[in-house]
C-alpha cells in the first residue's frame, strides 16, 4: 500500500531519499515576509481558519469548553484545525503535541501560550507589588527570568503584561497591573515587554498586552462587567500603557471582556482597527480573551456564534481563544462574502510571521529541551533574583517611634497570624507552575533570621473572617506578653487575588481587627505585616499598630524578603502605585483626580463644596507614598526659566538630603498641573521619577527635564494637544507632600 506523506515531508523527500527542492516557506535564507506570502498561497480556507483557532490543554483558566478529550485534540491538530494551544506546558508535553502539528498537511507548528503573570516556576511579586519598586531595570530583569523559565518548558508566548489602569481595589485583577497612573503604567508596560521578548531568541517569549482596552474601568470593580468612559478618558488615562507596550515591540494584543461605547471591545472596530492597527501601526496579531468572542452573544451584541465570529473578524480581531467560532464559521463567512480573503490573509499572516520569527518552521522543537528545562526551572540564580525583587516591593506605611528595624539582638518575637505559617494561602490564582510548598513562609524566614529559640508562633485567627475564635486570640495574647514584640501577619488569602476575585469589602477582616485590639492591650509593640493582592482599607487597624509593612503577595522568597526588611538588612524603598482608601465609599479614590467647580468651602461655616460629610476626600495613604528607615528632606526647588516655548525645555532641580540614621534609597517624583486648558486636566500628573541611593547625611541635586510632550494631552480623537498657559510643577517623595513652582508655556 502506498503511504501518503504530509506535504511538509513530501517536498523534502524523493523516492530515492534525496533532498528535493524546498518550498519557499521552508527556506530560511529568504525574507520572513516572502515565506509568509508563499505559505498563505498554499493554504486552504479551512487551514487558515485553523490558524485562528486556539484551544486549552490540561488546565481551564476559564469556563470549561468541552474540548477535554486529548485524542480529539490531537486529531484536530493533525488535520490543521488548531493553530495554537494554551495551558500546555513542559518540554516533553509540548514536544508530544507539536509532533501532531508536524503531521498536518503543511507542517505548520503550533504556538504554545501560558499565563505568566509573575513568574513561571520561580514566583516573583505580583505585578502590582513589583510596580511599587519604581525600578524599571529590576522589572525588566524579573521578566527576563520569567521568560527564560517559561521558554525552557516549551512555551512560546505569554498573555501579559496586563496594562489596564485601575483605580478600584475591589477589582481582583488590580494585582496584575501597575496601579492608577498612566505615565508610570506606560513605563512599566514597556519594561515588561522588553524583558519577556528580548530579541525573540529561544530564551525569550512573545508578549501579549492586555486587556485592550480600558478593562480596568469595570463598573464597581466587578469582573466581566460594563465599562462606560469618554474618548478623552480613553486616550489620556487608559490607552498610554498599551501604546507604550506596542511601541516596545509587543507581538500580540488581547481583547478585554468589557464594553466601549456600547460595543464589546472584541468586536469594536474603533479600538482594534482604527486605533491599534491604523493609528498605532501595530503589526502583531490580536487574540480574544477566553471565549470573549462567544460572550458577545451574552452581551446582546451578536445573535449567535457565527454572528460573533463575523463581528470579531470585521472589527480586526484575529485569533479565537476557546469559542470555536472562527474555525467553524470562517469558511461560510468567506463564501457568503461577509469576510474577504484579504482580511483572512492579514490575520493569518500576522500569526505565521511570528511563528517564523521564533524559528519554529526551522526547528519546531527548539523550545522542547528537557535538559535545559531541568537546569533552568527554580534554580539558585532565579531564586536570588526573586528575593531581590520581593524585598524591593515591600512598602513601609507606618513606623511610629522607630519601631523598625528589629535588630537581631536576642529579642523575643511573637509571630502571630495563620498566613505566616500556612503556605496554601501564599500564592494567588496566577501562580504559574509555582508550588506554594516551595515558597519560604514568614515563619521560616523569621526563624532563619532570628533563630528558632527567639520565635514563638500562634495562629491568632481562622480564614473565615466572621469567626471570632477567642481561644486563638487568647493564645496570641499570651505569646505576645511573653515576647518583646508582636509581629502579626494579617490581610487576605492569595486565593482572593486575580481573575474572578472581586470583593465588595476590602477592609481588614473583623476577626483580625479583634486580634489586633487584644494585642494592643499587652503594651508590647505591634507590627502588622499585611499580605494581600490589592490595597486594603487599613483605617480600622492604623491606630492599633506601631508599624505597618505592606507585603502584598511576594512569591517564592516572601519570608526571606520580609525578614530582611524587618531586621534592617534591607532598608525599604518601595512606594505605593495605588492610593489606599479610608473607606469603601471613597472608591475610586486616586491622586490624579480632576478639578471641581467647588474645591473649597464657599461660606464661613465650611459648606457648599465637593466633599463627604463622614470622611475626608483624601486617601489614607496617597499614591507614591512609602517610608524608609532613613528620612529624606526636599529643598531648593528651582526651574531653569520662568517660561518655555513649545519646542523648548524646562530644567527642574531639587535638593534631597538624607537626614536619617541609615543609608537609603528615595524615589523623587515629578508632577505637573496644566492650570487652564481647553479640556480640564487632573490636579496632578506624574511626569518623571528618579530613584537615588543617598548615604546617611548626604545631599544630592536631582534634575528633571520637561518637554512639550510632557505638557501635552490628547483630545477625543487621539491627537496630541499642547496649549500655551501656566503650568505648576511639583516635586516630592509622594503625590501629597511636595514642593511647587510655576512657569508659563508660550
Q: Which residues are catalytic?
A: 289
Length of the chain as a residue count: 746
In sequence order, which residues have a C-beta less than 8 Å from that of residue 381 and are 6 or more positions away?
Answer: none
Distances (CA, A) of 267 to 210, 322, 334: 15, 16, 18
- Tell me how far apart the alpha carbons of residues 254 and 1 are, in angstroms, rounded to a whole number: 47
Q: How many angstroms separate the CA atoms of 507 and 448, rounded?
A: 32
553 alpha carbon, distance to own chain's centre: 13
Cα–Cα distance measured from residue 436 to residue 417, given in angstroms and rounded to the nearest whole number: 17
CB neighbours of residue 194 within 10 Å: 20
Distance, in Å, from the CA atom of 356 to the CA atom of 214, rounded to the nearest integer, reads 31
**CA-to-CA distance for 471 and 518, rounded, in angstroms?**
12
**Dist CA 48 CA 528 (whole Å):** 56
**Spatial separation of the C-alpha atoms in residues 619 and 587, rounded to whole Å:** 9
d(Cα 129, Cα 145) in Å, to the nearest integer? Answer: 17
Q: Are strands 285-287 and 252-255 parallel, antiparallel or unpaired?
A: parallel
Q: Which three three-digit cell numbers place residue 217?
A: 474601568
Whether the upstream peptide bond of residue 161 has omega within 30° of 0, thus cis, is yes
Alpha carbons within 13 A on the beta-carbon side of 399: 21
Distance CA 746, CA 744 (A): 6
Q: Are strands 649-658 and 699-707 parallel, antiparallel or unpaired?
A: antiparallel
Q: 189: number of CA atoms within 13 Å, CB side?
A: 31
Tell me how far apart the alpha carbons of residues 91 and 376 are, in angstroms, rounded to a whole number.
12
Number of H helices, E strands in the chain: 22, 26
* Contacts of the segment 639-645: beta carbons below 8 A, 24+ positions apart: 639/729, 639/741, 639/743, 641/743, 642/743, 642/744, 643/743, 643/744, 643/745, 643/746, 644/706, 644/743, 644/744, 644/745, 644/746, 645/745, 645/746
Q: Look up residue 277 and give its DSSP letter.
A: I
DSSP secondary structure, 191-223, as one string: HHHHHHHTTS-TT--B-EEEEETTGGG-GGG-T
**CB atoms near residue 96 (< 10 Å):** 15
User: Are 254 and 209 a contacting pair, CB within 8 Å?
Assistant: yes
C-alpha span between 381 and 121 (Å, rounded): 13
Q: Residue 176 and residue 126: Cα distance in Å, rounded?
A: 6
List residues bridging with 85 in a β-sheet.
55, 112
Distance of CA 10 to the CA centre of its chain: 45
Output the CA torsion sign for 296, 301, 307, 311: negative
Residues 6+ apart with CB under 8 A from 95: 154, 365, 368
- 141 grid coordinates: 530583569
Amino acid at each position: 500500500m502506498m503511504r501518503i506523506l504530509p506535504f511538509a515531508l513530501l517536498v523534502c523527500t524523493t523516492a530515492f531519499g534525496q533532498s528535493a527542492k524546498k518550498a519557499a516557506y521552508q527556506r530560511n535564507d529568504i525574507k520572513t515576509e516572502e515565506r509568509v506570502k508563499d505559505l498563505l498561497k498554499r493554504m486552504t480556507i479551512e487551514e487558515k481558519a485553523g490558524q485562528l483557532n486556539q484551544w486549552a490543554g490540561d488546565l481551564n483558566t476559564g469556563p470549561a469548553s468541552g474540548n477535554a478529550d486529548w485524542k480529539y485534540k490531537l486529531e484536530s491538530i493533525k488535520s490543521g484545525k488548531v493553530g495554537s494551544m494554551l495551558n500546555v506546558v513542559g518540554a516533553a508535553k509540548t514536544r508530544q503535541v507539536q509532533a501532531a502539528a508536524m503531521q498536518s498537511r503543511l507542517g505548520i507548528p503550533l504556538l504554545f501560550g501560558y499565563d505568566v503573570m509573575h513568574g513561571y516556576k520561580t514566583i516573583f511579586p505580583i505585578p502590582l507589588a513589583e510596580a511599587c519598586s519604581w525600578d524599571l531595570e529590576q522589572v525588566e530583569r524579573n521578566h527576563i527570568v520569567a521568560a527564560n523559565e517559561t521558554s525552557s518548558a516549551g512555551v512560546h508566548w505569554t498573555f501579559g503584561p496586563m496594562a489596564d489602569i485601575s483605580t478600584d481595589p475591589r477589582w481582583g485583577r488590580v494585582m496584575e497591573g501597575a496601579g492608577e497612573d498612566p505615565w508610570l503604567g506606560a513605563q512599566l508596560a514597556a519594561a515588561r515587554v522588553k524583558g519577556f521578548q528580548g530579541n525573540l531568541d529561544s530564551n525569550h517569549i512573545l508578549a501579549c498586552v492586555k486587556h485592550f482596552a480600558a478593562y480596568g474601568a469595570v463598573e464597581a470593580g466587578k469582573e466581566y462587567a460594563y465599562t462606560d468612559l469618554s474618548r478623552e478618558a480613553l486616550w489620556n488615562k487608559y490607552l498610554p500603557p498599551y501604546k507604550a507596550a506596542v511601541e516596545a515591540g509587543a507581538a500580540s494584543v488581547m481583547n478585554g471582556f468589557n464594553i466601549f461605547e456600547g460595543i464589546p471591545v472584541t468586536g469594536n472596530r474603533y479600538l482594534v482597527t482604527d486605533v491599534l492597527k491604523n493609528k498605532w501601526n501595530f503589526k502583531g496579531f490580536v487574540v480574544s480573551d477566553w471565549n470573549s468572542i462567544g460572550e458577545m452573544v451574552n452581551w446582546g451584541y451578536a445573535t449567535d456564534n457565527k454572528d460573533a465570529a463575523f463581528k470579531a473578524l470585521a472589527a480586526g480581531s484575529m485569533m479565537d481563544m476557546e469559542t470555536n467560532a472562527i474555525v467553524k464559521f470562517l469558511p461560510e463567512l468567506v463564501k457568503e462574502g461577509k469576510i474577504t480573503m484579504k482580511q483572512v490573509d492579514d490575520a493569518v499572516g500576522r500569526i505565521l510571521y511570528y511563528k517564523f520569527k521564533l524559528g519554529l518552521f526551522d526547528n519546531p522543537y527548539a523550545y522542547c529541551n528537557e535538559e535545559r528545562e531541568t537546569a533552568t526551572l527554580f534554580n539558585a540564580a532565579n531564586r536570588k533574583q526573586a528575593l531581590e525583587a520581593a524585598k524591593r516591593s515591600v512598602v513601609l506605611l507606618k513606623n511610629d517611634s522607630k519601631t523598625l528595624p528589629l535588630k537581631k539582638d536576642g529579642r523575643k518575637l511573637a509571630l502571630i497570624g495563620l498566613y505566616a505559617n500556612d503556605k496554601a494561602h501564599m500564592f494567588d490564582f496566577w501562580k504559574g507552575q509555582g508550588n506554594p510548598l516551595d515558597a519560604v513562609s514568614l515563619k521560616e524566614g523569621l526563624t532563619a533570621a532570628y533563630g528558632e529559640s527567639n520565635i514563638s508562633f500562634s495562629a491568632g485567627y481562622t480564614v473565615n473572617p466572621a469567626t471570632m475564635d477567642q481561644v486563638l486570640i487568647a493564645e496570641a495574647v499570651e505569646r505576645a506578653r511573653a515576647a518583646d514584640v508582636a509581629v502579626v501577619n494579617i490581610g487576605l488569602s492569595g486565593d482572593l487575588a486575580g481573575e474572578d476575585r472581586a470583593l465588595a469589602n476590602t477592609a481588614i477582616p473583623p476577626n483580625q481587627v479583634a486580634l489586633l485590639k487584644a494585642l494592643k492591650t499587652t503594651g508590647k509593640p505591634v507590627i502588622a505585616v499585611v499580605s494581600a493582592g490589592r490595597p486594603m482599607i487599613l483605617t480600622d487597624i492604623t491606630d492599633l499598630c506601631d508599624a505597618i509593612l505592606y507585603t502584598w503577595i511576594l512569591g517564592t522568597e516572601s519570608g526571606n524578603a520580609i525578614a530582611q526588611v524587618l531586621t534592617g538588612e534591607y532598608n525599604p524603598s518601595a512606594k505605593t502605585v495605588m492610593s489606599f482608601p479610608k473607606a469603601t465609599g471613597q472608591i475610586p479614590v486616586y491622586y490624579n483626580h480632576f478639578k471641581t467647580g467647588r474645591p473649597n468651602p464657599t461660606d464661613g461655616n465650611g459648606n457648599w463644596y465637593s466633599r463627604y460629610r463622614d470622611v475626608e476626600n483624601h486617601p489614607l495613604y496617597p499614591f507614591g507614598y512609602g517610608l524608609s528607615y532613613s528620612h529624606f528632606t526636599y529643598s531648593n526647588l528651582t526651574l531653569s526659566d520662568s517660561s518655555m516655548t513649545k519646542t523648548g525645555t524646562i530644567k527642574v532641580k531639587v535638593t534631597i538630603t538624607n537626614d536619617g540614621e541609615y543609608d537609603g534609597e528615595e524615589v523623587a517624583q515629578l508632577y505637573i498641573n496644566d492650570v487652564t486648558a481647553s479640556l480640564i486636566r487632573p490636579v496632578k500628573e506624574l511626569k518623571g521619577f528618579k530613584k537615588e541611593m543617598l548615604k546617611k547625611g548626604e545631599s544630592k541635586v536631582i534634575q528633571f527635564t520637561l518637554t512639550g510632550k510632557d505638557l501635552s494631552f490628547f483630545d477625543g480623537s487621539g491627537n496630541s494637544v499642547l496649549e500655551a498657559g501656566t503650568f505648576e510643577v511639583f516635586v516630592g517623595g509622594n503625590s501629597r507632600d511636595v514642593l511647587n513652582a510655576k512657569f508659563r508655556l508660550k
